[in-house]
Amino acid sequence: MRRAIRYEVENSRQVAVIGPSAEVVGISGIAHEFGGNFRGDMYPDRPFMGPALERGQDKLADFWASSIR
């Protein structure tokens, strides 16, 4: 999971986006987030993206407002 963390920085706006890459995390990320079977092992749910979304939800509208033209 550690290798899946990616970031993008936009210096002009002083903004950074940090999170896991779906290409790297894939199905294993689903097993961690929601619990389930991955490569023969059962994983309990250990949410990492859902809680992050909840904490940042009030900022999303402002974040995306200037990105759509």
Residue type, 6: R
pLDDT tens per residue, range 45-67? 988 888 888 888 888 788 777 76
* 24: Cβ contacts below 8 Å, ≥ 6 apart: 3, 4, 6
- List C-alpha distances in Å: 20 to 9, 31, 33, 42, 65: 15, 14, 12, 21, 23
pLDDT value, residue 49: 81
Q: Give the three-class secondary structure for 16.
A: strand
Query: What type of residue sits at position 36?
Result: G
Whether residue 5 contacts residue 19, with contact meaning beta carbons closer than 8 Å, is answered with: yes
- pLDDT at position 42 is 92
